[in-house]
Structure 1
Amino acid sequence: MDMSYFWTGWSPIWHTLLVGTVGYLTLVILLRGTGPRTMAKMTPLDFIIAVTLGSAFGRVVTASDVGLAQAVVALVLLVGVQWALASIRAKWPAMRRVLDTPPVLLYYDGDFQSKALHKHRLTEADVHSAVRQSGHGSLDSVQVVILHQDGSLGVIAEGSMGDGSSLLPYVERHQGDSGNAA
């Protein structure tokens, strides 16, 4: 049996310790510096960055052929791309439409939105579960259930809609799609 399966010398150990420590500290500093948005509930864009960062960090820590400078540059690049895309998204509505998935109306005013449920691979049971988790015993006390950008389901109780301004664009889009009038 080849002993290199168990031991290849001190060099890879020192590399892992150095790159792991510096890489970890670099990530902490970068993520603290970019603000809470980087680590907020994840949109698909955030998820891609998080997975890519984890993959890159795991690779640079264990690969002895990756130097410390290259490891730090890779981490800075990935966090920089995430920060740049978040900035672009915040400044230009057109990019927001490209980068974000809009919220989706799943239940409105007593009606399940079957097309939306089917399209997003959800069931009426998923809506009922979200209603229960929000502290409601039935749909009678709920006016809206919406699928948020991060994949969570939001429940708005009857009488809590106010003027509906944060929901109105999705209700209007739903009415346009289904031909219903409120």
Structure 2
Amino acid sequence: MLDTLIFDSWKGLIRPFLMCLLAYPFLIFILRIFGKRTLTQINLFDFIITVTYGATLSSILTNNKVSFAEGAVILLMLTVLQFIVSQSSVHSKTFADFMKASPSFLYRDGQFFEKSMQHHRIRMEDLKAVVRKQGMSSFEQVEAIVLEGDGTLSVIQKEAGSSNDVLSGVE
């Protein structure tokens, strides 16, 4: 048993080698055809598709029961569905709003939005850390902290006498 743990036979290496030669270029090809938007991680759906690409590619390469043709159909269908969702998001504001989480205020003008922090499971320590990472020493220097639709935290620094139009559209 230990003698086959690392290397069993050359025959066992041929399938994964050939599948890599077929599946990886195929995935790159279909992603290039459907454009850059296919791999961006803008919302939860995009993240799920990206993880699913990896899981499907892994199955094609390692599972003897999955043929290249079956894997190629899965990769192609995932890409087509992603394309349809992204196109629908561009052409329909209602659909885009449904698919993409909207940003939320966690802090603005000296006030913490505790209900929003609890809802999104954001702790005060998380806000302090993000403010420190921006090189600020206190919340007095902060106009707002926004939880973006992609899950990142944005800190908007106070500026003397200016209105900040990047805050429009935030709940």
CA RMSD of aligned residues (A): 2.4
Aligned match of 2:139: 139
1:111 partner amino acid: Q
| Residue 112, structure 1, aligned to residue 122, structure 2 | no
CA distance in 2, matches of 1:72, 1:161: 57
1:53 partner amino acid: Y
2:54 partner amino acid: G
Aligned match of 1:22: 22
Task: Give the stretch that moved more between structures: 39-48 or 96-105.
Answer: 39-48
1:99 partner amino acid: M
CA distance in 2, matches of 1:38, 1:83: 7
Aligned with 2:144: secondary structure? strand
Gaps of 5+ in 2: none
Q: How far does residue 45 in structure 1 lie from its aligned partner after superposition?
A: 0.9
- Taking a change above 3 Å as real, the CA distance of residues 98 and 142 of structure 1, as seen in their structure-2 partners, is same
Question: What percent of counterpart residues are identical?
Answer: 27
Aligned match of 1:84: 84
Provide TM-score, normalisation by structure 2. 0.86
Gaps of 5+ in 1: 174-182
- Taking a change above 3 Å as real, the CA distance of residues 161 and 15 of structure 1, as seen in their structure-2 partners, is farther
CA distance in 1, matches of 2:49, 2:125: 31
Per-residue Cα deviation, 1:95-119 (whole angstroms, up to 9, x for no partner): 1121111111100000111001000
Q: Aligned residue pairs: how many? A: 169
Provide TM-score, normalisation by structure 1. 0.81
Aligned match of 1:40: 40
Aligned match of 1:96: 96
CA distance in 2, matches of 1:160, 1:42: 32
CA distance in 1, matches of 2:135, 2:61: 45
